[in-house]
Structure 1
């Protein structure tokens, strides 16, 4: 029997960290190890070591680590993750360990700590949508993309917020041991396998958060009639106001034009159909109102950074992979 290389994963905590940012990925890696497919050696570390109290008041034991041989260094987030002056020892720990680590990752506002350590400079990263603007203002040397579940840039991974830490862990397991094991872990955890990194952090209607009932009603009407032409006049008529008044109110309340919002709603509706893989993409484009494949392709590239064919291909590869393969394919 071939010797299996043990991959050491060290998860960094600090006072006031978010417990689910730790427990979600930790559970995913542990389940993978329990399946005897992924020999992960898991540890929780902190700058001082000892008991570290989370933001929910639950203490977690940690070790003070400056060891070599860490394969993956993952720092969790917390409600006050942007108050970096309170976590200077943690930043110093990351500066010390990251250069000796194959892979570095963060969950939620843990990205602030990676940024403070200079690990995100020149890269693209994400964090919880609520803190994305603050992260970008504070650290202008890299680009923040708030509309991603997780992002990989080189050997640096960043995830959006809280539950996306599980998505990140599944992606790391897939990179290490293939889609088969990642899918098995997701099934054991009873979670979706797996939200693609390019997926939006939230639904279009929730994100837009219009203030008035009429704009909300117009969006609901649009979602129920995506396969039909949805002009400004049609949407305005559905909520009984004039087209010009509707267009002005829509932009004022959502920050987007009606056309852009409808495009996003259609793309959102198309994703599960594309990933299911049983219907031709041409038919899906018509059924959600894009009309033709090229129009849908352009929309997907704008919104998700990749065409619908790529999403379908990735979904098929996940479904067809029946066993884990050491050193899964590198994914951008």
Structure 2
């Protein structure tokens, strides 16, 4: 694996893949992975954390077949995508590689190299809208943690680099080795590619009650599943009446309304940051139909999906109405 770095790269984007592959080797990966960090001119790259990273190779001198090329992300992504020397080498090296991947905003470098045209890709949710605007020929979808389109792999922000790398290990050596690496990393086995990035969109303060806090986190990460009061109460091991009392006390709303708000806010972020049709966004966020989602936008924001897509900033939710129990 050749990791492509540059100044102000995110060090976790480098450490997650390299660390996971090192552990795969220690657990008997055959053939073992060889990991190298490359930069233009073999210059040391200063990470965004200020740590100086020594490069093992000059990108311009790399020849021969490569297994995996990975472009990392970080605060310096815009300068990296505008660096013609770097972009030219990434384009050249991609032709030598069995597969090409990016972590987080490394997607911008792949797009600048012309490697993502007519591809479905993801990136950090905060930067998806900008990527789609700069590269209209790229199908940006900030929903999943990582996406494979042919031999191109793209992943979301920072920690999803680990999920992507575990997926690559599983592709290469099977699920047993991937699980062993995940356990060694004290990681949740590994999150599936289509698990929602969108749970990160929901930025409300965490409730004080642990049970409500755990359920709020579960709701945010499982928007397309059954999140009715009975299902949530069963998951928490309480009665639906007690669940409603807890949500009302700690969130100021009922479980059904909390679920509807979470789904609506996640859908609004997807409308703004991806080119997905409303029907696909509705399914991903747990709405029965595009019509139901349109009504949810009107109820929650006072505007429709088309207006949300065109607005310069995310709309603010309307003031809460008296408690009801709408089912999405």
Under TM normalisation by the shorter chain, which class is it? 0.5 to 0.7
* TM-score where L is the length of structure 1: 0.64
Which residue is 1:103 aligned to?
99
Instruction: Indicate how the Cα distance of structure 1 residues 208 and 121 shifts in structure 2: closer, same or farther if over 3 A, else same.
Output: same
Assess if the C-alpha contact under 8 Å between 1:199 and 1:304 holds in 2: no
* TM-score where L is the length of structure 2: 0.64
Q: Distance in 2 between matches of 1:187 and 1:210?
A: 31
Which residue is 2:201 aligned to?
207
Q: Is the counterpart of residue 47 in structure 1 residue 40 in structure 2?
A: yes
Q: Distance in 1 between matches of 2:202 and 2:29?
A: 43
Q: 1:227 aligns with which of 225, 228, 231?
A: 231
Which residue is 1:327 aligned to?
none
Instruction: Indicate how the Cα distance of structure 1 residues 119 and 228 shifts in structure 2: closer, same or farther if over 3 A, else same.
Output: closer
Q: Is the counterpart of residue 16 in structure 1 residue 12 in structure 2?
A: no
Which residue is 1:256 aligned to?
264
Q: Distance in 2 between matches of 1:300 and 1:21?
A: 28
Query: Pairwise CA RMSD of aligned residues?
Result: 4.0
Q: Which runs of 5+ in 2 are unaligned?
A: 220-226, 234-239, 269-278, 287-328
Q: Name segments (4+ residues, structure 1) moved above 4 Å.
A: 237-242, 298-301
Instruction: Indicate how the Cα distance of structure 1 residues 91 and 30 shifts in structure 2: closer, same or farther if over 3 A, else same.
Output: same
Q: Which moved more, 1:158-167 or 1:60-69?
A: 60-69
Q: Distance in 1 between matches of 2:183 and 2:281?
A: 28
Which residue is 2:274 aligned to?
none
Instruction: Indicate how the Cα distance of structure 1 residues 60 and 254 shifts in structure 2: closer, same or farther if over 3 A, else same.
Output: same
Question: Deviations along 1:47-78, whole A, 9 cap, x unmatched?
Answer: 12032111111111111032212110001000
**Shift of the alpha carbon at 1:128?**
0.4
Provide the secondary structure at the position in 1 that maps to 2:111.
helix
List aligned pairs for 1:1-332, cutoff 5 A: 9-38=1-30, 39-62=32-55, 63-65=57-59, 66-84=62-80, 86-203=82-199, 207-209=201-203, 225=229, 227=231, 256=264, 302-303=283-284
Q: Which runs of 5+ in 1 are unaligned?
A: 1-8, 262-297, 306-332
Provide the secondary structure at the position in 1 that maps to 2:3.
strand
Q: Distance in 2 between matches of 1:304 and 1:174?
A: 28
Q: How many residues align?
A: 246
Question: Deviations along 1:206-253, whole A, 9 cap, x unmatched?
Answer: 524469x9xxx9x96x969353899xxx99x959999xxxx9xx99x8
Assess if the C-alpha contact under 8 Å between 2:77 and 2:109 holds in 1: yes
Instruction: Indicate how the Cα distance of structure 1 residues 301 and 170 shifts in structure 2: closer, same or farther if over 3 A, else same.
Output: farther
Instruction: Indicate how the Cα distance of structure 1 residues 86 and 183 shifts in structure 2: closer, same or farther if over 3 A, else same.
Output: same
Assess if the C-alpha contact under 8 Å between 1:209 and 1:254 holds in 2: no
Q: Distance in 1 between matches of 2:282 and 2:183?
A: 30
